[in-house]
Each structure stands twice: as C-alpha cells, then as structure tokens.
Amino acid sequence: MRTLRFWPLWAVVGLVALGVLLYLCLEPAGQGGLFLIPDKLSHALGFFGLTLWFAALVERRLYVPVGLLMLATGIGIEIAQDLMALGRSAEFADVYADLFGIVLGLSLSLASRDSWLQRIERWLPRS
C-alpha cells in the first residue's frame, strides 16, 4: 500500500464509490439512472474513475491485480444482470467499455511516479 496519512478514509470512499457503481449497474431496468449519458460511456467512465482511485491507493507493482479485480467486477456485474431477471441483460460490449476505462485509468496512473492522492495529502496541512 502507498504511504498515505488518510489511507483508511480514501479506502472507505473508494468502497462507497464501488457500491454506488454496483447499484447503478444492477438497478432494475427503466429506473432512469442518475445520469443521462450513454450506457457504454457510463461503464467506461465509472471503471476509469474507480481504477484511477484504487490505483492511487496502492504501489505500482499492484496495478495489474487492481486492473484484474476491476475487470472481474465488470464481468461479475454482467453475470449478475443476466441472472437477476429485473429487465437487465448481460452484454459483452459493457465489459469492453469497462476494460477501456480500466486501461485508461491504469495508463494515467502510470504516467506519474506519485499517486494523485499523495499529491493531495502534501497540500493538506499537517496536524
């Protein structure tokens, strides 16, 4: 794990964001959702944001496991949608959109030696 003063807080925020993503992906069809953006774009953006978040919490050597866990989450969502019988259906295109967001998030994370959360913590005053 990265050396972060507020690591537990950042981890909880990430888990809450993951919960929100799961809810939005698994809510019954026709609920309208919170966002009026195309489905594949919402998958890519959601997985981009979560991957960027969780990659900021760990050392670079753990980026591949983060990416694989995010991909497994995307595949799990599609399987759950297919099994739930709530008007949702599994689509390979959603997994591809998830993968695009994951790769983009990891690529951006690799572009800098420090994580963006480390930079934010440097700006925060020490107590």
**Domain assignments of the chain as residue spans, ordered by start:** 39-112
Q: Measured between alpha carbons, how far is 69 from 4 in angstroms, rounded to an integer?
A: 22
pLDDT tens per residue, range 64-116: 999 999 999 999 999 999 898 777 888 999 999 999 999 999 999 999 888 99
Please report the pLDDT score of residue 34 as a whole number.
Answer: 54
Average pLDDT on 21-48 reads 81
| Structure-token pair, residue 64 | 């591949």
Tokens of 124: 């925060």
> Over the chain, what is the mean pLDDT?
91
pTM higher than 0.85: yes
Res. 36 pLDDT band, cuts 50 70 90: low
Residue 101 CA, distance from chain mean position:
8
Work out the angle at residue 95's Cα, subtended by the Cα atoms of residues 111 and 41, and round it to the nearest 5 degrees.
70
